[in-house]
Amino acid sequence: MNSSWTLLCLGLIAFSFVFIQPVPVHNNFDQNDSVSIPTQPMLQTPAQEIGDNRSFWALNLDTMEHYVADAYLLAIGNHCYIYIEDLVISIIGEEEANARAETYRDEFDANIYPRVIDLAGDPDGTLGDIDGDPRIYILIAEHRQSYYRQSNEGAGEYSNMCEMVYICYRTSNPVRTIVHEFHHLIWFNYEFDEIHFVLEGAAEYAKYHSGYLPANNMTDWVQDFLDDIDDSFIYFEVEAQDYGVCYLFAFYLAEQYGVQFLRDMVQHGDDGAVGLETALEAAGYNISFNELYLDWMTSLTIDEQGFADDRYCLQDMDATIQDYTTLESLPYQDDSLSLYCYGSKVYQLTSPPDSFSVEMSQPANGVAGLSVAFRDAQGWHVQQMQKEGLAILDVTGESIDTAHVIVSYLFAETPAADIDFGSGPRETVQVLMHEINETTDTPTPGPSNTDQALLIIAVSIPITATIIVFVLLLLRRKSEI
Ligand SMILES: [Zn+2]
């Protein structure tokens, strides 16, 4: 990667932080789980008192430069130290700083610590406890990003030699952000190379598991995705949309496969999409990542309970994709639909015929993924297809009153475990939807079906009877005027 490209990437990431607070976890140990971390030295933590001053290494994620943050210890809980940076105290005042520190301490001790541990496991994990003090350091900092750095939990040039999270004092909801970063802390005490669509989704789910979300159970960024789904799910760009979609996925996993499945993922060795597949298999489920993706996107499109074992809904959240194209009639054709890999386009057919066909060309370096959900006189139905080459899905129902078509660009193989940051590949496909006609005859205005039947009978019987039938037809026509 050349330096100008690096600068561009950093610039884009920095720009995105204007809108959001949590940032990806920083893993400065080896990126490979198979490299064992040596047993950590157990340090003797000196007793700390309210009012103590301490300098911490911190990281400016805009410039990737380390700096020293001076902070004061303003609250001590059973499970935490709350330090607030002196810059923050000078901005918000001592009284406000003390009040906030006590609030965070109380929330952490009473709720955050037990709930996040319930979801993720022991904060010492397999990494151990670097300072021999079970308390977590929460540094409320002036810098505008909140994050976790695994390197603090080992010896190193910029290590604080303690388990800690950094929380921006301006973040819209510091308590929820502490939940998110503390979840990262625990996960990274177990494994060191998980990728972000899994990590961030689970950390966002921890906010729900801890009871800090509003009644609709949505995080701040769910709507960002529902309003604009043109994004790769598996590639993480550190945008609001990415956090929203990852949370929706973790939420779906927990509802479909149990919260225990999310717990198991923390310690599951395989990573990313491959890791999800092997973890599902270990839990007794026979489903591929591609099938899971199509099921989940279908649930976000229709959110319908009561059929197919509730596979196509979120039971505890009303979240449906608002970014779709309405088609009032067929045929429809788009010769240049652009899709990100593991990105989708949704169509709603408001007056679908009872028999129609959906065609999607093969995206370069991938496969076409189709999911059609429709409701007819018998209820809801879902048909899906993954295809190398042209995918053609024929749909037939009885008085179909609504249909949703989801077209997706998938990989033929399960996405590699090292796919992480970036926007991902984008390809253009052709999409065609058209009615399937039962006969090739073009319908023309003419006698009603009953009349046609009578005429057919008429030509097959003797002439006298034919005359009688025509008289009957004439009488009938008259009575209808
Ligand atoms: Zn995060």
Per-residue pLDDT of the chain (481 residues; tens, 9 = 90+): 344 444 433 433 333 332 334 454 543 333 334 333 434 444 556 778 999 999 999 999 889 999 999 999 999 999 999 999 999 999 999 999 999 999 999 999 999 999 999 999 999 888 888 888 899 999 999 998 999 999 999 889 999 999 999 999 999 999 999 999 999 999 999 887 888 999 999 999 999 999 999 999 999 999 999 999 999 999 998 889 999 999 999 999 999 999 999 999 888 888 899 999 999 999 999 999 999 999 999 999 999 999 999 999 999 999 999 999 999 999 999 999 999 999 999 999 999 999 999 999 999 999 999 999 999 999 999 999 999 999 999 999 999 999 999 999 999 999 987 888 888 999 999 999 999 986 544 333 333 333 333 333 333 334 444 444 444 444 443 333 3
pLDDT at 58: 96
- 220 Cα–ligand 1 center, Å: 14
* Cα distances (angstroms) measured from residue 372 to each of 185, 352, 385, 405, 406: 40, 12, 9, 5, 6
Dihedral sign, Cα of residue 105, residue 201, residue 127, residue 71: negative
pLDDT at 28: 36
pLDDT at 132: 86
For 49, other C-beta atoms within 10 Å of its C-beta total 8
- 128 Cα–ligand 1 center, Å: 21
Specify the pTM.
Answer: 0.83
Q: Which token pair is 232?
A: 């790769």
User: CATH says 325-441 is which class?
Assistant: mainly beta
Distance between CA 140 and CA 167 in Å, rounded? 5
Q: Are 124 and 186 in contact (CB under 8 A)?
A: no
Instruction: Label the pairing between strands 164-168 and 147-148.
Output: antiparallel
- Domain edges within the chain: 15-191, 325-441, 449-480
- 464 Cα–ligand 1 center, Å: 87
Distance between CA 92 and CA 87 in Å, rounded? 9
- 74 Cα–ligand 1 center, Å: 25
pLDDT at 45: 66
- 184 Cα–ligand 1 center, Å: 7
- 165 Cα–ligand 1 center, Å: 11
